[in-house]
Amino acid sequence: MTVSLGEEIMLLSLDDETGAAKGETAARWGVAAGMLLELVMAGRVTVRGGRVEVFDPTPTGDALLDGRLDRLTRWVHETSSSRKVVAWLTRDHAKGSQDVVDSLVARGLVTEEKHRALGVFPVRRYPEADGTVERELRARLAAAVLEGAEPDARTTALVALVHATGMHPQAFPGLPKKQVDPRMAEIAEGHWAGVSVREAIRNLQAAITAVTMVTVLTVVS
């Protein structure tokens, strides 16, 4: 089963047993960036100079990606004067994450459980239903980061997103950051991806740094 980068980020984030998101804020930014990068890799979108443009609005045939593409196309038309990557991630990260979770449920990879916290507040959790896809993606990550295997373009993109969002604990539970960080940085900056993807990765990394910094400053203040 082929899943998108956004779905892979979400699978790494969700606790297999409880279904709660670990590092939820980082995961939301990672999911939004992952979906955008997926559209770059599909030849539908360009991301450069800190801005996002729709290159080809033709549907990809994937319902999740096409939903993002349609939403992005409408946003670009509405905001012709400012199409900054940061603005798009800020706009899309909450809805995009929910759409990705819904897709994982529809694919049968996680199941949705509903209950009320303190008997009042509605809470949804998404424990694992089928772990085959997550095991495969974790194996890919381990091969590239821990074993030195040369990653393909998709694995490079995933590693770059995990590195940019600081999701090392979710991707490599139990391992110290210093053990995986240098190799992840090497992959993110390496030659494994094409020029347009490398440029998009650099732009998205900068955008994620900017939005997460704003989030931290807001919480502190």
**Cα 34-43-107 angle, rounded to 5 deg:** 50
Residue of 29, 59, 32, 67 lying closest to 43 (CA atoms): 59
Q: Are 203 and 85 in contact (CB under 8 A)?
A: yes
To the nearest whole number, what is the mean pLDDT of the chain? Answer: 88
Could you write out the three-class secondary structure of the chain? CCCCHHHHHHHHHECCCCCCECCHHHHHHHHHHHHHHHHHHCCCEEEECCEEEECCCCCCCCHHHHHHHHHHHHHHHHCCCCCEHHHHHHHHHHHHHHHHHHHHHHCCCECCEEEEECCCEEEEECCECCCHHHHHHHHHHHHHHCCCCCCCHHHHHHHHHHHHHCCHHHHCCCCCHHHHHHHHHHHHCCCCCCHHHHHHHHHHHHHHHHHHHHHHHHHHC
Determine the average pLDDT of the residues in 16-27.
90
Find the length of the chain: 221
Task: Flag the least confident range among 1-5, 103-107, 182-186.
Answer: 1-5
Determine the average pLDDT of the residues in 149-157.
91
* More confident call, 52 vs 123: 52
What are the pLDDT digits (tens) for 106-152? 999 999 998 776 666 778 899 999 999 999 999 999 999 999 999 98
Quick one: pLDDT at residue 216?
Answer: 40
| Stated pTM of the model | 0.89
Q: How far apart are CA 126 and CA 68, in angstroms?
A: 22
- Residues above pLDDT 70, as percent of the chain: 90
Determine the average pLDDT of the residues in 41-46.
92
Residues 6+ apart with CB under 8 A from 196: 40, 46, 48
Residues 6+ apart with CB under 8 A from 169: 22, 23, 177
Determine the average pLDDT of the residues in 153-166.
92
Quick one: pLDDT at residue 137?
Answer: 95
Residue of 108, 105, 41 lying closest to 68 (CA atoms): 41
What are the pLDDT digits (tens) for 79-92? 766 789 999 999 99
* More confident call, 211 vs 9: 9
pLDDT band with cut points at 50, 70 and 90 for residue 193: low
Whether residue 192 has pLDDT greater than 70:
no
